[in-house]
Amino acid sequence: MCRRRFILRKVTGMALQAQTEIGPVSLRPLVVERVWGSQTLPAWLPPPAKGSLIGEAWLTAGECQIESEASLGRPFAELLAHSPGKFSANSDAPEFPLLIKLLFPNEKLSVQVHPDDALASSLGQSRGKTECWYVLSADPGASVMVGFAEDLSAKQVRDAIAAGTLEQKLRSISVKAGDMVYVPAGTVHAIGPGMMLLEIQQTSDVTYRLFDYGRLRELHVDQGLAAIKSATGAGIVAPQQMEGFTRLIASPYFVIDRFMVSTERAPLGKLGQMQILLALDAGCFLECSSGTALPLQPGHAVVLSAEPIVYSLRSAFGCSIIRIAEK
């Protein structure tokens, strides 16, 4: 395996200090219950307790536990706090810049919208929330809703919410496995059931629910109306073939690539830049310049800090790996 390059050590009382090199950081997924969630999860996640509906698995949250041996069981936030500048282009940011999730919707999610950076800042939030969804699997007829089908005034949106017809005003898009859907901040959107999504977003938990299908949860109509943008460019993004990988999307906040890895070593590139890897199949390995290799578990994020370590990917029989980098 890749050498464990970081050790968090006690230096004075409860104070901790990080060694200079960090290397690959493997994180344990954190499952989160949601009213729209499912009891059916991928085999690489523990089965949910009876009656629990799991809607999300957070892969890069600060609460995720480190799986690497040197700091086994410690929260990712602890490493972030003691390694400023290693995990974001903005060394002053208090948290990891990107939150990666897996979504398991068994029912429709609420119709909602997120603020952009400017609005979030005016409200005392660290950032807005632009996101995208990579469709890992989808039943026939599965769909998402992004933006309005026609221009609506704020009054028309408010009236549709009151009448329970807001969903009918949205643009519905059928999706299949392999589709990438871009959802910039300010886009009114919703996710339907019957699919599994990989969601990449700015780290923000600010969600304004506009309509929730009669569920007894708080709505945020006034805040949501202030956040809505009439045109955002949301929708399915066509992939681009690059040298050695496929570019799924490039946004102002993140760049996402897919590597189809075989027995031939695939150079990872982006030397010295923070990256997140997610294997979609078993049998994938991350190789370090030292010649050692780290197995990549499906559904477990591996974060590579901004260090000048040369990495490559390999598989015994072929697999797919998603690489996410901060823009």
pLDDT over 80 (residue 326): yes
Within-domain flag for 91: no
276 C-beta neighbours (distance < 10 Å), count: 24
Same domain, 230 and 279: no
In the numeric block, the tokens 């690959």 are attached to 24
Q: Please report whether residue 208 resides in a domain.
A: yes
- Claim to verify: residue 45 and residue 164 sit in the same structural domain: yes
- What tens digit of pLDDT does each residue of 41-80 get? 999 898 999 999 999 999 999 999 999 876 788 999 999 9
pLDDT at 16: 40
Q: Based on the domain organization, do 58 and 172 belong to the same domain?
A: yes
Which whole-number Å values give the CA distances from 187 to 70, 181, 184, 231, 235, in the listed order? 42, 12, 6, 8, 10
Mean pLDDT, residues 195-214: 96
For 157, the enclosing helix (H) or strand (E) is helix 154-163
Domain boundary among 236, 254, 283: 236
Give pLDDT, residue 3: 47
Instruction: Identify whether residues 51 and 150 lie together within a single domain.
Output: yes
Residue finishing a domain among 184, 209, 236 = 236
Torsion sign across C-alpha atoms 112, 117, 118, 124: positive
Same domain, 210 and 251: no
pLDDT recorded at residue 19:
52
Question: Tell me, what's the pLDDT at 146?
Answer: 98
What's the number of domains the chain is made of?
2
- Structure tokens given for 50: 């009876």
Q: Is there a contact between 138 and 178 (Cβ–Cβ < 8 Å)?
A: no
- Residue 283 structural domain: 240-326
**pLDDT at position 275:** 95
Task: Assign 318 a pLDDT band (cuts: 50, 70, 90).
Answer: confident
Residues 39 and 138 in one domain: yes
Residue 12: its pLDDT value, please?
33
pLDDT tens profile 81-125: 888 788 876 655 668 999 999 999 999 999 999 999 999 999 999
**Average pLDDT of span 275-296:** 91
Q: Average pLDDT, stretch 212-238?
A: 96
Q: Judge whether 220 lies within some domain.
A: yes
Q: How far is Cα 89 from Cα 114, in angstroms, rounded to an integer?
A: 23
Instruction: Return the CATH number at 293.
Output: 2.60.120.10
Q: Which of 220, 236, 252 is the last residue before a domain boundary? A: 236
Structure tokens at 93: 């940011």
- The pLDDT tens digits for 132-170 are 999 999 999 999 999 999 999 999 999 999 999 999 999
Considering the domain boundaries, does residue 185 fall inside one? yes
247 plus 225 within the same structural domain: no
pLDDT tens digits for range 240-282:
999 999 999 999 999 999 999 988 888 998 888 899 999 999 9
Same domain for 230 and 202: yes
pLDDT attached to residue 68: 80
* Residue 280 Cα to chain centre, angstroms: 14
Rounded CA-CA distance 27/46 in Å is: 15
Confidence (pLDDT) at 10: 39
Q: Are residues 304 and 179 in the same domain?
A: no
- In a shared domain, residues 268 and 282: yes
Question: Longest Cα pair distance anywhere in the chain, in angstroms?
Answer: 63
* pLDDT surpasses 90 at 21: no
Question: Within a domain: residue 82?
Answer: no
By CB atoms closer than 10 A (0-12, 13-18, 19+), residue 284 is: buried
pLDDT value at residue 15: 38
Residue 17 pLDDT greater than 50, yes or no: no
Q: Which helix (H) or strand (E) holds 221?
A: helix 221-227
Tell me the three state secondary structure of residue 138: strand
CA 42, 46, 47: angle at the middle one, nearest 5?
80
Nearest to 185 by CA among 254, 272, 93, 109: 254
Among 4, 5, 127, 209, which one carries the catalytic annotation?
209
Q: What is the pLDDT of residue 13?
A: 34
Regarding whether 250 and 320 lie in a shared domain, the answer is yes
Based on the residue annotation, tell me whether 209 is a catalytic residue of this protein: yes
